[in-house]
Structure 1
Amino acid sequence: MGRVRGGVIVGCLAVAPLLVTGCGAGADDADKVTKSAKVSAAPSAGVVAPAKVEVIAGLTGCKAKIRIDADELRQGVCHTEKADYLITTFPEEELKQTWLDSASVYGGSYLVGTRWVLSAKPELLGSFREKLGGTIQELQGIGPDPGS
């Protein structure tokens, strides 16, 4: 019986540093995500929209038709009188950033929130920002400047 208790105690002591390290790493990772996320609530929005295509679409006044439903992202298209636009959501911030890095090849303006991106005509992004929050990001693109 004494050997069993001793084994349990040794096992617990061996695992304890891993648990403490794991908790510490999670807190640091949360700080990194908070610091790296460039999300600000719009003045009238008050809160940033959740990362779900259907909810974001509803907040913008449309019912999205899902085009992509994959592990890495979900994308829905909205058709309205003013314009067509895309709402893309991601299960993780890192996947959103990878998508934005890839989209930077094409350039353009995007409304970016926590785990979501809205792609629309630049003149519409401001009104969507009032409803959803987030930030408007300009991606440079590659190739010659069309204004040249």
Structure 2
Amino acid sequence: MRRTRRRVLACALPAVAAAVMLLTSGCGSGAAGVGPHGAGHGPAATPADAANAMPSEQLTVDQLAAEVGCTPTSPIKGADFRQANCKASGTNLILLDFDTAEGQRAWVDLSKDYGGVYLVGNRWTLSGNDRDYMLALQTRLGGALEQGSNHGQ
């Protein structure tokens, strides 16, 4: 178990770095210095909220891209996940599918430190900055909405 967690985290770091670059590219563009993760985004969801969310089917990166209507970059394969990026409705998205629920939870928990909004489904995750857009996706795809840290922005 420990070795698997270490391997997942080691493989997740490049994905998190890519997520940080996408998620922070709009920082500072909000009104009065409020970044995209600032006030007005509501409370952060917890893993308990994820367990209570409406059920969602297991989707691949390609299926997620088709659902949101974007063309994904070539997926990057990690030890426990595949990741691609795309832009839909003016929102940069990170699309992920996972081999295990444990790997997914480790990735989401680590990534939330960098801000953003996460739609967490059955071994798939979408990440972006536009909470309203992510809420609209949630009604279509299911899953639980989780908010990353705002770091005082």
Larger radius of gyration: 1
Partner Cα separation in structure 2 for residue 80 and residue 56 of structure 1: 11
What secondary structure, in the 3-state scheme, does the structure 1 residue paired with 2:103 have? Answer: helix
Partners in 2 of 1:56 and 1:49 — Cα distance?
A: 11
Equivalent in 67, 72, 76 of residue 59 of structure 1: 67
CA, structure 1 residues 39+71, in 2 after alignment: closer, same or farther (shift >3 Å)? farther
Identify the residue that residue 136 of structure 1 maps to in structure 2: 145
Long gaps (5+) in structure 1: 1-34, 42-46
Cα distance in 1 for residues equivalent to 2:49 and 2:88: 33
Higher relative contact order (CA 8 A, sep 6+): 2
- Percent identical: 26
> How far 1:37 sits from its partner (Å)?
5.5
> Aligned-pair RMSD on alpha carbons?
2.3
Show the counterpart of 1:16: none
Could you say which residue in structure 2 is the equivalent of 1:80?
A: 88
Query: CA 1:78/1:126 → structure 2, altered by over 3 Å: closer, same or farther?
Result: same
Aligned equivalents of 2:92, 2:111: Cα separation in 1: 18
- Where 1:105 maps in the other structure, the secondary structure is helix
Cα distance in structure 2, aligned partners of 1:37 and 1:83: 23
1:29-108 equivalences under 5 Å are 38=51, 40-41=53-54, 48-108=56-116
How many residues are matched? Answer: 105
With normalisation by structure 1, the TM-score equals: 0.61
Contact 2:50/2:144 (8 A) holds in 1: no
> In the alignment, does 2:125 pair up with 1:117?
yes
List per-residue Cα deviations over 1:14-59 (Å, max 9, x = no partner): xxxxxxxxxxxxxxxxxxxxx9962623xxxxx6242310011111
Give the distance between the partners of 2:92 and 2:149, measured in 1 at CA: 22
CA contact 1:63–1:78 (8 Å) conserved in 2: yes
Conservation of the 8 A alpha-carbon contact between 1:37 and 1:114: no
Distance 1:39 1:50, change over 3 A: farther
Whether the 8 Å contact between 2:50 and 2:120 is mirrored in structure 1 is no
Segments of 5+ residues of structure 2 without an aligned counterpart are 1-47
